[in-house]
Structure 1
Amino acid sequence: MNVELMPLEPAAGASWDPPSPAEASKAVPGGWWDPSLGNLRIDEGTLGVGMAGHAYAAVPTSVSRARRFAVACLAEWGMPAAADDLGLIVSELVGNACRHAVTGRIPSRTRVLLQLRPLPSIDAVVCMVSDPETRGPAQAPTDRFAESGRGLGLVAAFSREWGWSTVAGQGKVVWAICGSEPR
């Protein structure tokens, strides 16, 4: 990963055109979101052949725990090549959820849910992170010396595509597809 190659301008936004594989699936938000995994409580998780999910409290230590979980899922699914990109994407999405979904809430009781699905037909994995906040992610303008604000630019740079959807009465899901396809 060479972060120095990242543009400083927030030009790389969420992908909306043309319809993504997520939209084409006509499933729930993100195309692969599993509502049954939405019942996981904080610190509960599951890993199966075609899905994985884990719920975290919206606290800083959850970011590294989520990253380790995601990389372990890839190893289980025989997809270690995507580990670096997925680790970065999970860190950014879970970190954003932990920072921005807690307004007016108690962080240790605010749930951030990570779901992963392998997409072997396109040699990729979809990462989905939900939180109770309905406002969508917004890329902050940054300058060369800013210490934060580049997270969504990194997600855009290290994923095939990304986007977000609201979930009626439950907040939003931010998703990203990452795999071996050249960016």
Structure 2
Amino acid sequence: MEGILRDAFHLPAIGASVSEARRRVLHRLTEWNIGALVRDDAQLVISELFTNAVKHTDSDKVDCELRVAGVRLRLEVADRGGGPGRPRLRRAGRRGAPDREGESGRGLTIVAALAEEWGVRPGGDGRGHTVWAELGFGCSAP
């Protein structure tokens, strides 16, 4: 694969947009001939990051970007709203956490398990955050 492939899209910050984000990622990565395992991981990562942006901020829309350079896929999800603080890993269902049954709080843990690298940076205008994850792939066979 030569050069850099890039796509960006923006969706309303509502729960129904999560599935649309997954569909857009699948469509674009299929078009770029990215292998099925990477496509599956990318859909899960975008789903977790988009869900966090909807659930934990007061953003009205969420910006997503996909970029392939060499054998790395970078996914970025940016919210534009305020939230309870910087996104961070936490143990699901720990004592004092909002969900004592452990049914939430795993999003960034899943992202960290699937990604070679991931991180958070503040929004350019001082509001919101961009959470990014990079997935590696060795071959591009579907």
Q: TM-score range by the shorter chain?
A: 0.7 to 0.9
Deviations 1:148-167 (A, max 9, x none): 11111000001111001113
Contact 1:77 1:118 (C-alpha < 8 Å) held by counterparts: no
Per the TM alignment, residue 124 of structure 1 is displaced from its structure 2 partner at its CA by 2.1
Q: 3-state SS of the aligned residue for 2:119?
A: strand
Structure 2 residues not aligned, in runs of 5+: 95-100
What is the aligned-residue identity percentage?
Answer: 35
Determine which of 16, 33, 46 is the counterpart of 1:61.
16
Alignment partner, residue 75 of structure 2: 127
CA distance in 2, matches of 1:166, 1:50: 24
CA distance in 1, matches of 2:93, 2:9: 34
Per the TM alignment, residue 50 of structure 1 is displaced from its structure 2 partner at its CA by 1.7
- Structure with the bigger percentage of strand: 2
Alignment partner, residue 64 of structure 2: 114
Please report the TM-score for the alignment, with normalisation by the length of structure 1.
0.63
Q: 3-state SS of the aligned residue for 1:137?
A: coil
CA distance in 1, matches of 2:23, 2:128: 25
Deviations 1:20-55 (A, max 9, x none): xxxxxxxxxxxxxxxxxxxxxxxxxxxxx7211110
Contact 2:93 2:105 (C-alpha < 8 Å) held by counterparts: no
Q: 3-state SS of the aligned residue for 1:68?
A: helix
Alignment partner, residue 115 of structure 2: 159
Determine which of 50, 58, 62 is the counterpart of 1:94.
50
Q: CA RMSD of the aligned region, Å?
A: 1.9
CA distance in 2, matches of 1:168, 1:143: 32
The amino acid of 2:28's aligned partner reads C
Contact 2:90 2:109 (C-alpha < 8 Å) held by counterparts: no
Q: 3-state SS of the aligned residue for 2:27?
A: helix
Per the TM alignment, residue 136 of structure 1 is displaced from its structure 2 partner at its CA by 1.7
CA distance in 1, matches of 2:6, 2:120: 19
Point out 4+ residue stretches in structure 1 off by more than 3 angstroms.
Answer: none
Per the TM alignment, residue 168 of structure 1 is displaced from its structure 2 partner at its CA by 2.9
Contact 1:71 1:80 (C-alpha < 8 Å) held by counterparts: no
CA distance in 2, matches of 1:92, 1:172: 15
Per the TM alignment, residue 71 of structure 1 is displaced from its structure 2 partner at its CA by 1.0
The amino acid of 2:115's aligned partner reads S
Please report the TM-score for the alignment, with normalisation by the length of structure 2.
0.80
Contact 1:160 1:178 (C-alpha < 8 Å) held by counterparts: yes
Q: Counterparts of 1:6-21 in structure 2 under 5 Å?
A: none
Structure 1 residues not aligned, in runs of 5+: 1-48
User: In the alignment, is residue 141 of structure 1 matched against residue 88 of structure 2?
Assistant: no
